[in-house]
Amino acid sequence: MGYLQGKQVRLGEKQKYASIYGYPKFRYPVIEVSTGQALGLIKEEVTPGIPGQPDITVYYEKNRWRDHGKLRFYQSPEALVLALGGQIDTSRLSSPEPEPEVKAVIKRNATKAPTARRNKPAKTTRQKALKKPARKVAAKKTKPGARKVKNSLAH
């Protein structure tokens, strides 16, 4: 018979702690519902998976709850509590609220056609010629502090 046999328990908030080697780890306190007393901790162990595969996360206890012959590692803290004879308190859990129905509203503006469909008047060649900017000849820029050399052949 397990230590948790027939007890109503709930899991506390996930707590961060460091292993004896300094690695960050997580644990969950197990609290008895009737007394509010902490019965122990469930620890989380993450083992790196094969390259390209997800890591493996297992949960175990070191509180001597486990009967001889029971598995040591479980897939979730809740599965560990249930396997050791405990019952999870579900009184605090609420049923999910139904999502409100969303109605799609399509707004259309019937007065204007989209800009891609509007016919624009074609420009004449004279209008195109007036809009073109005058070409500018770019002068060479000299480096600051450089001497200007006079070209004697230019005169």
In the chain, domain spans: 8-88
Number of Cβ within a 10 Å radius of residue 73: 14
> Quick one: which of 89, 77, 86 has its CA closest to 27?
77
Distance of alpha carbon 77 from alpha carbon 41, whole angstroms:
10
Residues with Cβ within 8 Å of 91's Cβ and at least 6 positions away in sequence, in order, are 33
Of 148 and 36, more confident: 36
Rg, the chain, Cα only: 38
| Residue 28, token pair as written in the block | 């969950």
Give CA–CA dist 131/36, Å, rounded: 84
State the burial class of residue 1 (Cβ atoms within 10 Å of its Cβ: 0-12, 13-18, 19+): exposed
pTM greater than the 0.75 cutoff: no
110-148 burial code (b ≥16 CB/10 A, e <16): eeeeeeeeeeeeeeeeeeeeeeeeeeeeeeeeeeeeeee
Predicted confidence (pLDDT) per residue in 30-71, tens digit: 998 888 888 889 999 988 888 888 888 999 888 777 777 778
**How large a percentage of the chain has pLDDT more than 70?**
62
Which of 110, 114, 113, 62 has the alpha carbon at shortest distance from 84?
62
Q: How confident is the model at residue 132, as a pLDDT?
A: 54
